[in-house]
Amino acid sequence: MASTAPPGCNKDLDPDYYLLCDTTQAWGIVLETLATAGIVATISFMVLLLIFICKVQDNTKRSMIPIYFLFLVGTLGIFSLTFAFIIKLNERTGPTRFFLFGVLFALCFSCLLTHAFNLVKLVRGKAPFGCLVLLVCAIGLALVQVIIAIEYVVIIAARQNKNFATMIPEQRNMDFVMLLIYVLFLIALTFLVSMFTFCGTYKGWVRHGAHIYVTLLFSIAIWVVWITMLMRGNPELKKQPLWDDPVISIALVSNGWVFLMMYMVPEFCFLTSPHKPEDYPPENYSCKPKLIKKSFGVENEAYIKEEITTGNNGDPLYIPHSAHFQMEMLEHQKEFSIPRPKAHASPYQDYNGGQGTK
């Protein structure tokens, strides 16, 4: 082992870890550096997220903080999983690759899908989902991929005594992609729902939908490229399995940075930005009765002509309380008054008490 250690590596190092320090194959060192920087950046976002909880003024935005934190946990795992693909495939890294790759991406895309569903209601001024409901939905969607991965790794691999390192590369890559069908479904569904967030009147929430849309657009491009290279490109170029691990590692690092730069950085900016009443509805907007809201101006154009008439000199005259039906002009008639009772003359008016006149 001392004579075969590549430049940059310790002579006592296990050959499975040579790509972490081999200077002749720089892709391992480059991806290792980018993954480490991603881990540091993700942990920094998680710490800042805990600090900004008290500074968020909008309760609707504050309810999304657990989803952001869960999304960052998945992103942290994606950057960390890159080392399992830089290290040589063996009995320890094989199950880790097959299990965690789909689970971590399912967790991230489930958070994006939950956020998109919440935005579909917010852009239309409807009441958002509660914090607990959002968290349960995100975790529930990710648990489906957990069940699928456990079924493959435990039932198929363990019971049939298959070693991932000794499997045929074509079959191993085929199984790897087949395990990600549910993740591909989440990607397509999230991309579709994110487009519905643009159909709303409140531009503040539409901006959040644009973050998800752009993130999914770049993620789809990354996934199409790495799956195509893994299934078709590498065999045609006669680089299989030499290029299999670099292709997947590049996909992990690039998609992790897309999650941070295209989604988390803009979300952090809007999370702590001042509240704009013209872009966001009031927090109790959906609880107000719509029929007794104060309105300005004439709401029904049918009453405009009935409320506007002309005066004697031809100038328009506004009648604020006009009847909806047409009134007939009545002829002027004699005015009558109610007769009032009159006091009669008293019969004793000229009585002088029985004394005659002198």
Domain membership of residue 348 (yes or no) is: no
Give me the pLDDT at residue 183, please.
97
Contacts of 193 (CB under 8 A, 6+ apart): 113, 116, 117, 120
Give me the pLDDT at residue 294, please.
47
**Higher local confidence (pLDDT), 69 or 126:** 69
Q: Which domain holds residue 96?
A: 15-285
**Higher local confidence (pLDDT), 129 or 181:** 181
Domain membership of residue 278 (yes or no) is: yes
Burial status of residue 167 (CB atoms within 10 A of its CB: 0-12, 13-18, 19 or more): middle
Domain membership of residue 291 (yes or no) is: no
Instruction: Yes or no: say if 164 and 95 are a contact pair by the CB < 8 Å rule.
Output: yes
Checking if the pLDDT of 323 tops 70, the result is: no
Checking if the pLDDT of 38 tops 80, the result is: yes
Give me the pLDDT at residue 288, please.
47
Domain membership of residue 350 (yes or no) is: no
| CATH code for the domain of 121 | 1.20.1070.10
- Most confident listed range (225-239, 268-282, 337-351): 225-239
Tokens of 328: 């007939």
Tens digit of each residue's pLDDT (9 = 90 or more) over 183-235: 999 999 999 999 999 987 777 888 889 999 999 999 999 999 999 999 999 99
Checking if the pLDDT of 87 tops 70, the result is: yes
Q: What's the whole-number average pLDDT of the chain?
A: 81
Number of domains in the chain: 1
What is the rounded average pLDDT of the residues 311-334? 53
Domain membership of residue 26 (yes or no) is: yes
Which band of pLDDT confidence, cut at 50, 70 and 90, is reported for residue 165?
A: confident
In this prediction the pTM is 0.76
Tens digit of each residue's pLDDT (9 = 90 or more) over 139-163: 999 999 999 999 888 877 666 666 7
Please report how the helices 65-86 and 26-51 are oriented relative to each other, as an axis angle in degrees rounded to 10: 160
Instruction: Yes or no: say if 111 and 67 are a contact pair by the CB < 8 Å rule.
Output: yes
Give me the pLDDT at residue 282, please.
53
Domain membership of residue 56 (yes or no) is: yes
Least confident stretch, 169-183, 267-281, 286-300: 286-300
Checking if the pLDDT of 289 tops 60, the result is: no
H runs (alpha helix) in the chain: 26-51, 59-62, 65-86, 93-122, 131-150, 159, 169-178, 181-196, 203-228, 234-236, 244-258, 265-271, 304-307
Domain membership of residue 303 (yes or no) is: no
Which band of pLDDT confidence, cut at 50, 70 and 90, is reported for residue 3?
A: low
Domain membership of residue 80 (yes or no) is: yes
Tens digit of each residue's pLDDT (9 = 90 or more) over 92-113: 888 899 999 999 999 999 999 9
Burial status of residue 114 (CB atoms within 10 A of its CB: 0-12, 13-18, 19 or more): buried
CA-based nearest residue to 98, from 110, 85, 80, 111: 85
Give me the pLDDT at residue 30, please.
94
Give me the pLDDT at residue 226, please.
96
What is the rounded average pLDDT of the residues 23-38? 92
Checking if the pLDDT of 266 tops 60, the result is: yes
What is the rounded average pLDDT of the residues 16-45? 93
